[in-house]
Structure 1
Amino acid sequence: MLPEICFSAESEDQKTLLDKVLTEQKFLSPVNRKCSAWAAALACQNISVIAVVKDHLGVPTENEQRELLFAVSRMSVTNPYFVSRGIIDLQAGGTLDALCFRSFSTIKVSNEIAYHYACIAVSIVNGGHACFHSHCSSLKQLGETDQAIDQALRISAALMAARQIAFNQTAFF
């Protein structure tokens, strides 16, 4: 049995936000909402948060799982790498090729928009500001609205709050 996240009176606002951004607000398409939430949950590395997403949105399809794993795996490298490079001026590296990444066309992502949403979700959790900015710019270039992008940001924030609430439960109880 998975530990359930118990939202207390002190976290009622976070529960409301979580429910609204996952199920009520429709700025994001259902697939983009699902990919954003699953990517953030995977990056949170908390089984209770994953259970919340599964309960609200279901399990990703096999292809969605494949593309989520690409996004999460790639951001686990690029987020800390490019954050670090932003602090120091180096005359070497600084490219995806230097990280031994296959090209985007080689990995054959079928839903580029959902992939970028997954990348921003992971980058929010990881604090990968350079990657976050790059993937948000890609979404804007692909025609995504500010409202849709903002909903994705709120999904990540709400799931990070759920992770904190789950931790708080173990700290005090």
Structure 2
Amino acid sequence: MSLTDLRNALPDYAKDLKLNLDSVLSEAGSPGLDGKQIRVIALACAIATRYLPLTAALEAFAAEQLSPEEIHGAKAAAAIMAMNNIYYRATHLIHNDEYGQMRTGLRMNVMARPGVDKLTFELASLAVSAINGCGACLDSHERTIRQHGASAQAVQSALRIAAVVHAVGVTAEQAAA
């Protein structure tokens, strides 16, 4: 199913999602981000929704501008955040500072060479962290993004992509059920 087909299959009550999806997947609708960043973020978010038709549609959309290595980078951001968001959210929610002082013991080698530039990887990681609900990771990635010179508008755009892609995945899966 193409992205257009998936979008058109959304129920009438999700008209706002249809409009928002078109918007956030464009440079005009995601200020502060370029086309490649939008595609990396959207694909990583689609993976985080766990709705396979949306992931396939956004991977095809991403492949229009991204190299296989950049697509790998989007997948890497989704994969590493699937692990990190659980770990860091849990250690943050436990309210015992001892866990924050301990070595994680989890391999995160992909962060050194993810397949996309550091800023784009951080933006995708932030967006996936929003979907997965990890405040500790959101704080960390937002700080790093801003240190790389990105604006608050770029951060907001990444979060808007996460919100819309997640909502489309939830709604499309429910409509298909």
Give the CA RMSD over aligned residues: 2.5
Deviations 1:102-155 (A, max 9, x none): 3844x3655001100110121122112211221111111111111121111111
Q: Quote the residue 1:48 is aligned against.
A: 53
Please state whether the residue corresponding to 1:33 is helix, strand or coil: helix
Please state if 1:63 is matched with 2:69. yes
Shift of 1:26: 4.7
> Under a length normalisation based on structure 1, what TM-score does the superposition of the two structures give?
0.84
Aligned-residue sequence identity (percent) comes to 25
Q: Given that residues 130 and 138 in structure 2 are in contact (C-alpha distance below 8 angstroms), is that contact kept between their aligned partners in structure 1?
A: yes
Report 1 or 2 for greater relative contact order, CA contacts < 8 Å, sequence distance ≥ 6: 1
| Partner Cα separation in structure 2 for residue 108 and residue 150 of structure 1 | 23
Q: Given that residues 77 and 114 in structure 2 are in contact (C-alpha distance below 8 angstroms), is that contact kept between their aligned partners in structure 1?
A: no
Please state if 1:21 is matched with 2:28. no
> Under a length normalisation based on structure 2, what TM-score does the superposition of the two structures give?
0.82
**Aligned AA (1:25):** G
- How many residue pairs align between the two structures? 170
Q: Quote the residue 1:38 is aligned against.
A: 43
Unaligned runs of 5+ in 2: none
Unaligned runs of 5+ in 1: none
1:78-93 map, 5 Å: 78-88=84-94, 89=96, 91-92=98-99
**Aligned AA (1:91):** E
| Partner Cα separation in structure 1 for residue 114 and residue 121 of structure 2 | 11
Q: Given that residues 36 and 121 in structure 1 are in contact (C-alpha distance below 8 angstroms), is that contact kept between their aligned partners in structure 2?
A: yes
Q: Quote the residue 1:4 is aligned against.
A: 6
Q: Given that residues 121 and 156 in structure 1 are in contact (C-alpha distance below 8 angstroms), is that contact kept between their aligned partners in structure 2?
A: yes
After TM superposition, the runs of 4+ consecutive aligned structure 1 residues lying more than 6 A away are none
Q: 1:97 to 1:118 in 2, by over 3 A?
A: same
Q: Quote the residue 2:155 is aligned against.
A: 149
